[in-house]
């Protein structure tokens, strides 16, 4: 054993993790090198935080929760017309977009375990007529933004080690779906090991630790270490619009949301949807001992979950959608100060046995920000995530909800037309019902068969 491997072994032994070298003597030279390379990446100092995260699952700290303020930017009923306050900040967002100060972070590094699709989730064909994939949907939303603002925001796609190659190959095969390849960057997030019930690191085999992506909260460390924050700075980017690859209906950039973030001087902004069922399993934006935070539904007492205000509506209603605007300076500050987001532990199947898996969550940036702004958006317009093999968040459920929305939008835009059997609106055409009327103004539209609405050449 070389001196450096010997030192590594000692470090693991001292940390009570000597078992990771159990098979050393029987390993071939290549396998040994692979194991050492992997173990060198493990931050043993983090073991204490991992154990603390497990303890926190068993006995969460008591919270002092109170509702947090949110901006309601639009009417609550279809077609969700923007309020005056929202219209007033749109020019601010618009200006940032025109100046090229906005980038898009698309996180696509998850394992998509629940959906069970063979390949990156972004390669899932979701639109009903063209079979357009989620990645193309997002690319076409960007093309539309480019048309609208004269500048196409650069796209930063976070991938995981498990899907980086497939994702890059998919974009290459499709020539970045019409985006400029120089404006599409991929970066791989980090990984974290798992612990068994005895606090021992779980092995995937004799020569490998078991590891998994470190959660969407890994985005900040990965953006920093892979040079993406520097790339943004070099391009003059000041604001990052953060979206997740599975939310079909989310705008990649939203001038009202950006405008609100900028004019309120926020460091982090978030979008929420209104929770109406106290049992809905969604993290809630609220104040925890006065600090803006997302608190998991599991940490709410039944009394708090069911608490209603004077208006009869749920007091804790702000369902987290995982959609943000981040100030670049804020992200840089977190990176420069090596601020680690907390670890969250969950019991998961790891190698056919139950073990503790760890992740960081992007919403844990919220309590670290000097100013946070929250904006409520209409659920059916902007929240349609593909998570499961079936049910409302399965492919059929998502397609059905999308159909319902666009059929209503078409009826509003063109009351003269009969309802088509199927409708697909190209994301490069428009993003919501408010825009559809203008987008198809004066067009001859045939609704006697399946209808696909695209931009005209």
**Which part of the chain contacts ligand UTP (CB under 6 A), choosing from 83-91, 144-152, 210-218, 398-406?**
210-218
Q: Which of residues 217-256 bind ligand UTP (CB under 6 A)?
A: 218, 244-246
- Residue 13 within binding range of ligand UTP, rule CB under 6 A: no
- DSSP conformational letter for 26: G
Q: Is 113 in the site for ligand UTP (CB under 6 A)?
A: yes
Residue 130 falls in which region: left (phi positive, over 0), alpha (psi -120 to 50) or beta:
alpha
- Is residue 193 involved in binding ligand UTP (CB under 6 A)? no
Site for ligand UTP in 380-419 (CB under 6 A): 387
Give the number of residues in contact with ligand UTP, rule: CB under 6 A. 20
What is the residue whose two structure tokens read 């209906």? 249
Instruction: Please provide the DSSP assignment of 383-436 as one string.
Output: --B--SSSSTTSHHHHHHHHHHHHHHHHHHH-TTSPPPSSEEE-TTT-SSHHHH
Stretch that binds ligand UTP, among 75-83, 112-120, 164-172, 429-437 (CB under 6 A): 112-120
Q: Which two tokens stand for residue 171?
A: 């974009």
DSSP H/E element including 319: strand 318-327
Q: Which helix (H) or strand (E) holds 85?
A: helix 84-98
Q: What is the DSSP letter of 151?
A: S
The minimum distance between CB 352 and ligand UTP, in angstroms, equals 18
CB of 350 to ligand UTP, least distance (A): 13
Three-state DSSP state, 7? helix
Per CB under 6 A, 320 contacts ligand UTP = no
Radius of gyration for the chain, computed over Cα atoms and rounded to the nearest angstrom: 23
Paired sense of beta strands 239-244 and 318-327, if any: antiparallel
Token pair, residue 222, equals 């990965």
266 near ligand UTP (CB under 6 A): no
Q: Strand locations in 145-297, DSSP E?
A: 155-159, 184-188, 191-193, 203-205, 208-209, 211-213, 239-244, 268-274, 284-288, 291-295
Beta carbon of residue 138, minimum distance to ligand UTP (angstroms, whole number): 10
Q: State which of positions 121-140 bind ligand UTP (CB under 6 A).
A: 121
Stretch of 73-81, 113-121, 172-180, 324-332 lying at the interface with ligand UTP (CB under 6 A): 113-121
Residues ≥6 apart with Cβ < 8 Å to 38: 208, 209, 211
Q: Answer yes or no whether residue 111 interacts with ligand UTP by CB under 6 A.
A: yes
Q: How far is the CB of 33 from ligand UTP (least distance, A)?
A: 27
How would you class 324 by CB atoms within 10 Å of its CB: exposed for 0-12, middle for 13-18, buried for 19 or more? Answer: buried
Q: Which residue is nearest to ligand UTP (CB)?
A: 110
Residue 365 binding ligand UTP, by CB under 6 A: no
Beta carbon of residue 224, minimum distance to ligand UTP (angstroms, whole number): 16
Contacts of 303 (CB under 8 A, 6+ apart): none
| Residue nearer to ligand UTP on the CB measure, 199 or 389 | 389
User: At its nearest, how many Å lie between ligand UTP and the CB of residue 196?
Assistant: 21
Contact between 213 and ligand UTP (CB under 6 A)? yes
158 lies in the site for ligand UTP, by CB under 6 A: yes
Q: How far is the CB of 173 from ligand UTP (least distance, A)?
A: 20
CB of 282 to ligand UTP, least distance (A): 12
Does the protein bind ligand UTP through residue 331 (CB under 6 A)? no
Q: Using CB under 6 A as the criterion, which residues of the chain lie in contact with ligand UTP when the complex forms?
A: 107-114, 121, 158, 189, 213-216, 218, 244-246, 387
């Amino acid at each position: 054993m070389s001196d450096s491997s010997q030192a590594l072994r000692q470090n693991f032994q001292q940390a009570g993790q000597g078992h990771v070298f159990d098979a050393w003597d029987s390993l071939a030279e290549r396998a040994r090198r692979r194991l050492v390379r992997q173990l060198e990446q493990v931050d043993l100092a983090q073991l204490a935080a991992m154990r603390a995260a497990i303890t926190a699952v068993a006995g969460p700290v008591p919270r002092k929760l109170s509702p947090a303020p949110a901006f309601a930017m639009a009417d609550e009923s279809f077609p969700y017309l923007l309020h005056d306050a929202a219209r007033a900040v749109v020019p601010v967002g618009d200006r940032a977009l025109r100046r090229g100060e906005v980038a898009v972070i698309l996180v696509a590094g998850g394992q998509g375990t629940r959906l069970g699709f063979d390949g990156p989730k972004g390669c899932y064909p979701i639109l009903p007529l063209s079979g357009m994939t989620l990645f193309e949907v997002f690319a076409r939303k960007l093309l539309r933004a480019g048309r609208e603002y004269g500048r196409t925001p650069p796209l930063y796609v976070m991938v995981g080690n498990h899907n980086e190659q497939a994702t890059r190959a998919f974009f290459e095969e499709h020539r970045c779906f019409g985006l400029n390849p120089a404006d599409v960057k991929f970066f791989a997030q980090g990984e974290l090991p798992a612990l068994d019930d005895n606090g021992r690191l779980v092995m995937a085999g004799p020569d490998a630790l078991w590891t998994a992506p470190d959660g969407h909260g890994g985005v900040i460390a990965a953006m920093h270490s892979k040079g993406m924050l520097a790339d943004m700075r070099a391009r003059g980017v000041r604001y990052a619009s953060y979206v997740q690859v599975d939310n079909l209906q989310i705008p990649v950039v939203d001038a009202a949301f950006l405008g609100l973030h900028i004019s309120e001087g926020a460091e982090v902004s978030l979008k929420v949807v209104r929770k109406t069922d106290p049992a809905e399993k969604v993290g809630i934006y609220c104040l925890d001992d006065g600090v803006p935070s997302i608190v998991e539904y599991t940490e709410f007492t039944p009394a708090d979950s069911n608490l209603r205000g004077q208006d009869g509506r749920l007091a804790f209603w702000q369902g987290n959608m995982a959609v943000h605007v981040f100030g670049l300076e804020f992200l840089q500050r977190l990176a420069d100060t090596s601020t680690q987001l907390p670890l969250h532990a969950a019991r998961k199947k790891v190698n056919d046995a139950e073990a503790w898996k760890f992740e960081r969550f992007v919403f844990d940036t919220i309590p670290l920000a000097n100013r946070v702004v929250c904006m409520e958006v209409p659920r059916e317009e902007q929240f349609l995530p593909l998570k499961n093999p079936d049910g409302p968040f399965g492919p059929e459920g998502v397609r059905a909800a999308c159909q319902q929305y666009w059929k209503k939008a078409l009826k509003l835009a063109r009351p003269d037309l009969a309802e088509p059997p199927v409708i697909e609106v190209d994301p490069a055409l428009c993003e919501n019902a408010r825009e559809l009327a203008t987008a198809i103004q004066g067009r001859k539209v045939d609704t006697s068969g399946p209808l696909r609405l695209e931009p005209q050449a």
